Amino acid sequence: MSNIKPLFDRVVIKRMEEEKLSAGGIVIPDSATEKPIKGEVIAVGAGKTLDNGTVRAPQVKVGDKVLFGKYSGTEVKLDGTDYLVVKEDDIFATLA
C-alpha cells in the first residue's frame, strides 16, 4: 500500500471478506451479499480537534478489527485495493 496518512479524525479501513457460505452450507453468490461492516484499520489520523483547541487522540490504532456503519465513509481504490475512509465517530466498536 502507498503511504497514506488520513487527516484529523479520519480512519482508513480495509473491509474484511464476508462468509460466502451460509450456516446451512449453501453458497451465497457475490450479487446477493451485502458489503461487510467489519474491517481492519490500515491508517489513523492525528485525532479530533475539540472546541477548546486540544486534540483528542484516536481510540483506534492500526491493526484493530472494527465494526462500522453500513453506509459510512467514502470508498477509495489505491494500488488496486478498495479501502474505506471514515470519521472515527462512524466506528462503533473494536473486535477482540
pLDDT digits (tens, 9 = 90+) for 24-42: 777 666 565 567 789 999 9
Contact 4, 73 (CB under 8 A): no
Q: Are strands 55-56 and 81-87 parallel, antiparallel or unpaired?
A: unpaired
Average pLDDT, the chain: 85
Distance CA 11, CA 79 (A): 18
Model confidence, pTM? 0.79
Radius of gyration over every alpha carbon of the chain, rounded to an integer in angstroms: 15
Rounded to 5, what percent of the chain is helix, strand, coil?
Answer: 5, 40, 50
